Amino acid sequence: QSALTQPPSVSGSPGQSVTISCTGSTNDVGNYNRVSWYQQSPGTAPKLMIYDVTYRPSGVSHRFSGSKSGNTASLTISGLQAEDEADYYCGLYTTSSIWVFGGGTKLTVL
């Protein structure tokens, strides 16, 4: 199975922007847009934040956006708020019809 690499942690002050990366390979992230992002606050189930690299579900703040460059997908959170502090996971639906998750990134709001 493919491996997705995320930074273990990122941090930012309220009002700032932070970007979380998710790096795969040419065979997956590089050639397909099947990347989604999930936010998980402590003790709760993950929540879908972004799908197909750039699409935002209804109800998710416009401060969350997704992008991709080469083999790396990214989640950007602008106007950082205390409530954004959580773990974030990228997920990829592979061409083999199985899923792979990244190792997760802990976002700390300073």
Partner 1 sequence: QVTLKESGPVVVKPTETLTLTCTVSGFSLNSPRMGVTWIRQPPGKALEWLAHIFPNDEKYYSTSLKSRLALSTDTSESQVVLTMTNMDPVDTATYYCARMSAVMFFRFDYWGQGALVTVSP
CA distances, 102 to each of 21, 29, 69 (Å): 10, 12, 17
Task: For partner 1, give the closer residue by CB, 14 or 57.
Answer: 57
Closest CA to 21 of 2, 3, 1, 5: 5
Q: Distance between CA atoms of 27 and 102, rounded to whole angstroms?
A: 16
Query: Is there binding between residue 103 and partner 1 (CB under 8 A)?
Result: yes
Task: For partner 1, give the closer residue by CB, 45 or 82.
Answer: 45
Q: Which of residues 35-94 bind partner 1 (CB under 8 A)?
A: 36, 38, 40, 45-48, 51-52, 55, 57, 89, 91, 93
Q: Is 3 helix (H, G, I), strand (E, B) or coil?
A: coil
Task: For partner 1, give the closer residue by CB, 13 or 58.
Answer: 58
Task: For partner 1, give the closer residue by CB, 30 or 104.
Answer: 104
**CA distance between the termini of the chain:** 36
Residue type, 15: G
Nearest distance in Å: CB 45, partner 1: 4
Query: Which residues contact partner 1 by CB under 8 A?
Result: 1, 34, 36, 38, 40, 45-48, 51-52, 55, 57, 89, 91, 93, 96-104
